[in-house]
Chains A and B, each alone.
Chain A
């Protein structure tokens, strides 16, 4: 199949399509990095599976304070891990809210209410981002 002679432009939906793939892959890579670090920092013998998963997806001190890991503060409550977590929540929440947008648009279709739907989801996105970044920085 030959390529089109006129390439479609960079519309909102096309960029969100690309972002969804990119953010999904980024989340998997960040999760693998988190899981590897968790195992290296003492998870092999001192934690159960849910704790390992909490570390994988969201490595912050609150998630490991109930385990037997000795140095929770030095290990995890520093800028590197806070920035890693902010990346995880940014990619995760954006990926998720975009997915919700797609499902909702499949149900409501191209009516006058589409801008309203997108506006509401935009506010949900900003709200979740702000609350989660606050929780990260204040824990």
Chain B
């Protein structure tokens, strides 16, 4: 049931939900981001394959640039690992009291994995291999 009082985006940001709210927001943003990327990539590949289209080729050039990949790999890594946390807490609801620790653990895993990915992407991107 939606409430009839409309809360604007900036007003909503003032809600001090902390780490759980950040995780929820990022999960949505990364989810929609991944869907846009995958959807456009599928369509661009279809156009390239069927019509040899320039539009398709150029879109895929953007996707293959290392800067874009640095962004999309954060989206994928975060969405997958946060999703695993959500899945675990849905299967074992008695672990809900460890939400705080679960979020800490999640960031401790995400940041090194993402850091490693960025290292590989930037080093091959800047050396041009």
- Give residues in A with beta carbon < 8 Å to B: 21, 24-25, 27-28, 48-50, 53, 62, 89, 92-93, 96-97, 99-100, 103, 109-110, 128, 131-132, 134-135, 138-139
Question: In the assembled complex, which residues on chain A have CB atoms less than 8 Å from the CB atom of B80?
Answer: 24, 27-28
B31, A131: Cβ atoms closer than 8 Å: no
**CB-contact partner of B31 in A21, A48, A93, A96, under 8 A:** A96
B95 to chain A, nearest CB (A): 15
B69, A96: Cβ atoms closer than 8 Å: no
| Distance between Cα atoms of A25 and B73 in the complex (Å) | 18
A92, B73: Cβ atoms closer than 8 Å: no
Question: In the assembled complex, which residues on chain B have CB atoms less than 8 Å from the CB atom of A100?
Answer: 31-32, 35
Q: Per-residue 0/1 for B59-98: is the Cβ within 8 Å of any A Cβ (1 yes, 0 no)?
A: 0000010100100010000001001101100110000000
| Distance between Cα atoms of A92 and B49 in the complex (Å) | 21
Closest to A104 in B: B32
Question: In the assembled complex, which residues on chain B have CB atoms less than 8 Å from the CB atom of A53?
Answer: 73
B12 to chain A, nearest CB (A): 12
B87, A25: Cβ atoms closer than 8 Å: yes
A131, B46: Cβ atoms closer than 8 Å: yes
A107 to chain B, nearest CB (A): 9
**CB-contact partner of A49 in B32, B46, B84, B120, under 8 A:** B120
A100 to chain B, nearest CB (A): 6
* Given A28-B83, A49-B124, A99-B28, 17 extra CB contacts under 8 A: A24-B87, A25-B87, A28-B84, A48-B120, A48-B124, A50-B64, A50-B121, A53-B73, A96-B34, A96-B38, A99-B31, A100-B31, A110-B2, A128-B42, A131-B43, A134-B46, A135-B49
**Contact status of A48 and B28, CB under 8 A, knowing A28-B80, A100-B35, A131-B42:** no
| Distance between Cα atoms of A109 and B7 in the complex (Å) | 14
Q: Per-residue 0/1 for B15-46: is the Cβ within 8 Å of any A Cβ (1 yes, 0 no)?
A: 00000000000001001101100110011011
Closest to B81 in A: A28
Question: In the assembled complex, which residues on chain A have CB atoms less than 8 Å from the CB atom of B121?
Answer: 49-50
A62, B45: Cβ atoms closer than 8 Å: yes
**CB-contact partner of B87 in A21, A103, A138, A139, under 8 A:** A21
A120 to chain B, nearest CB (A): 14
**Contact status of A135 and B42, CB under 8 A, knowing A25-B87, A48-B124, A97-B35:** yes
B73, A103: Cβ atoms closer than 8 Å: no
Question: In the assembled complex, which residues on chain B have CB atoms less than 8 Å from the CB atom of A138?
Answer: 49
